[in-house]
Chains A and B, each alone.
Chain A
C-alpha cells in the first residue's frame, strides 16, 4: 500500500535518485581543483567509496549499468593516453558484486569489520586500476601516488562512510521488501 501524495512521491523519487546522483557528483568532484594537501588526495577514490557504501545500504538503487556509465564517464574525463576507458567501470561493477555477495559479513556487523572490508576492497580496486593502466600503456608506472591516495581514503572512510550510510532508513521495516536485504528487524548498519 503506497501513499500517493506529492510529498510521498518526492520522497520515493528522492530515495531512488540519491545514490546515483551522489555517485555522479563524486565523479565530477574528482576533478575539483582543490589544493589542500591530503584533502585533495581523497577525491580520486571518493566515487569508489560511494559505490562501496551504497552497495552496502541500497544496492538496488545503484544498478550495474549506472555504475558502468559512471565509470566510463570518469575514465573519459580523466583522459590522457594513460587512462584506459572502462577500467573504473570494471572496478565499480566488481566492488558492487563483491559487496552484494558478502553482505552478511558487512551489514549489521561492528563498524570495524565494515572498515576492514572497505580497506581490502579498495586495495583490490587500486591494484586493478594500476595493473590495467600499466598493461595498457606498457610502462612500469609509479604506484606511489595511488598508494598515497589509498592511505588517505582509508583514513577518511570513518568520516564519510557513515554519512553516506544515512540513505539507509533507521528502521529496516520502514523500507520496501526488495531493499531490506538480509537485515533483521531492529538491526542497523552500524
Chain B
C-alpha cells in the first residue's frame, strides 16, 4: 500500500511540474524541431515526404470540390466577356492557321536537313500528367503539390510544364505525391537562353510574380518582349521550353521576366521525364548545377 501511495505522490508531483512548465517545454520542443530541421536535412526531407504521402489522399479529396468551385467562378467570369472573346479567338485562329502552314513547311525542311546531316536528337521525352492537389501558399514559398510520385516515374529534378511553358521543377518525391518548386520561388535558379540572341543567362525567382535574368554577358542585348527558353545546361531539362518573356530592364544589369505559365489558374501539369535526370543527382540544391558554369 505504502509503495503505491508513494508512487501516486511522485506521479502527482511530476504532473504538477509538467503543468507548471508546460509552456516552456512546448516552446523548447518547437525550437528543438527547428534546430533538428537545420542540422539534419535528410531526416527532415524524409519526414516531409512521409507527411506529403500521408496527406496526399486527403488533399486530393479537398482539391476536387475546390476545382469545381474554381471552374464555376471562372465560368461566370467568362460568361460576361463571351462576345469579345469569340471575336478575338476568331481573329487569332486566322493568324494561327497561317503560322501552322509555316510550321509544317519548316518541320519538313528540318527533317530533311537532319537526315542529310545525320543529326542525333537528345533522349526522347515522355510526359506524366498530374493534378495539382495543393498549393504551397505560405507567404515565403512558391510551389505546389502533385498527386503523382515515384510509382508513376517521377523523380526529383524533372521539369514541370503547363500548356504555356515551364512552371517549375520537382523538388521532392513521395510514393504517390511530389512537390514542385515554381520558377518564381526565391530558391529557383534556371539556366536559360535568350531565344533571339542565343545568349546564356541565369533566371532567378524572388517570390514575386516576375523573375530576374542575370549573369548574361551583355544584358543590353535583351529587348522587351524577348522570349526566354530553357538552355538545357545542367542536363536535367529539355532544351527550348519557353519560360517567359522580358518585360523591363532594371538598373544594375538585370532584366525582369514575366513567366508564361499562369500560376493563378494551374489545375493540371505535365511532368517531363527526360531520362537523364540521374546525371544531376541531388536536385534538392537547385543552385548547384548552374553555378558551375
By a beta-carbon cutoff of 8 Å, the part of chain A in contact with chain B is: 28-36, 40, 43-44, 64-65, 67-68, 71-73, 75-87, 89-90, 93-94, 97, 130, 132-133, 136, 139, 141-143, 145-146, 149
Q: Which B residue's beta carbon lies closest to that of A73? A: B51
Determine if A34 and B66 form an interchain contact, defined as CB atoms under 8 angstroms apart. Answer: yes
A90 vs B62: C-alpha distance when bound (angstroms) = 27
Which of these binds chain A: B113-121, B132-140, B156-164, B232-240? B132-140
Determine if A89 and B33 form an interchain contact, defined as CB atoms under 8 angstroms apart. Answer: yes
Asked if B93 CB lies within 8 Å of chain A CBs, one says no
The 8 listed contacts between A and B (C-beta, < 8 Å) are A28-B62, A33-B63, A34-B70, A80-B171, A82-B141, A86-B30, A89-B33, A141-B186
A130 vs B286: C-alpha distance when bound (angstroms) = 23
A93 vs B29: C-alpha distance when bound (angstroms) = 10
Determine if B31 and A86 form an interchain contact, defined as CB atoms under 8 angstroms apart. Answer: yes
**Which of A73, A79, A85 interacts with B171 by CB under 8 Å?**
A79
Interface code B64-90, partner A: CB below 8 Å = 1, 0 otherwise? Answer: 001101100110000000000000000
Q: List the B side residues contacting A30 at CB < 8 Å.
A: 137
Shortest distance in angstroms between A142's beta carbon and chain B's nearest beta carbon?
Answer: 6
A171 vs B44: C-alpha distance when bound (angstroms) = 46
Which of these binds chain A: B102-110, B241-249, B264-272, B273-281? B264-272
Q: Is the interface of B mostly helix, strand, loop or mixed?
A: helix
Q: Which of B8-63 contact A (CB under 8 A)?
A: 22-23, 26-27, 29-34, 36-38, 44, 47-48, 51-52, 55, 58-59, 62-63
Given A33-B63, A85-B33, A132-B34, does the pair A93, B69 have CB atoms closer than 8 Å? no
Q: Which A residue's beta carbon lies closest to that of B34? A: A86
A76 vs B143: C-alpha distance when bound (angstroms) = 13
Q: Which B residue's beta carbon lies closest to that of A44? A: B137
A65 vs B179: C-alpha distance when bound (angstroms) = 27
**Which of B26, B34, B266 interacts with A136 by CB under 8 Å?**
B34
Q: Which A residue's beta carbon lies closest to that of B262? A: A35
Q: List the A side residues contacting B206 at CB < 8 Å.
A: 142
Q: List the B side residues contacting A73 at CB < 8 Å.
A: 51, 55
Shortest distance in angstroms between B160's beta carbon and chain A's nearest beta carbon?
Answer: 14
Determine if B143 and A85 form an interchain contact, defined as CB atoms under 8 angstroms apart. Answer: no
Given A33-B132, A35-B70, A81-B187, does the pair A94, B27 have CB atoms closer than 8 Å? yes
Shortest distance in angstroms between B74's beta carbon and chain A's nearest beta carbon?
Answer: 8
Asked if B255 CB lies within 8 Å of chain A CBs, one says no
A36 vs B23: C-alpha distance when bound (angstroms) = 38
Determine if B30 and A141 form an interchain contact, defined as CB atoms under 8 angstroms apart. Answer: no
Determine if A77 and B52 form an interchain contact, defined as CB atoms under 8 angstroms apart. Answer: yes
Q: Which A residue's beta carbon lies closest to that of B266? A: A33
A73 vs B50: C-alpha distance when bound (angstroms) = 10
**Which of B30, B134, B137 interacts with A93 by CB under 8 Å?**
B30
**Which of B133, B139, B179 interacts with A33 by CB under 8 Å?**
B133
A83 vs B74: C-alpha distance when bound (angstroms) = 31
Determine if A145 and B135 form an interchain contact, defined as CB atoms under 8 angstroms apart. Answer: no
**Which of B31, B33, B55, B139 interacts with A72 by CB under 8 Å?**
B33
A77 vs B44: C-alpha distance when bound (angstroms) = 11
Given A33-B132, A33-B144, A64-B23, does the pair A82, B187 have CB atoms closer than 8 Å? yes
**Which of A34, A67, A72, A83 interacts with B138 by CB under 8 Å?**
A83
**Which of A33, A71, A85, A146 interacts with B37 by CB under 8 Å?**
A85
Determine if A28 and B207 form an interchain contact, defined as CB atoms under 8 angstroms apart. Answer: no
Asked if B154 CB lies within 8 Å of chain A CBs, one says no
A141 vs B142: C-alpha distance when bound (angstroms) = 13
Q: Which A residue's beta carbon lies closest to that of B265? A: A35
Determine if B37 and A32 form an interchain contact, defined as CB atoms under 8 angstroms apart. Answer: no
Given A33-B133, A34-B66, does the pair A83, B140 have CB atoms closer than 8 Å? yes
**Which of B34, B133, B136, B208 interacts with A80 by CB under 8 Å?**
B136
Given A79-B143, A80-B185, does the pair A32, B171 have CB atoms closer than 8 Å? no
Determine if A32 and B63 form an interchain contact, defined as CB atoms under 8 angstroms apart. Answer: yes
Determine if B26 and A82 form an interchain contact, defined as CB atoms under 8 angstroms apart. Answer: no
Asked if B181 CB lies within 8 Å of chain A CBs, one says yes
A85 vs B40: C-alpha distance when bound (angstroms) = 11
A65 vs B27: C-alpha distance when bound (angstroms) = 10
Specify which of A30, A78, A89 lies most central, judged by the most chain B CB atoms within 10 Å of its CB.
A78
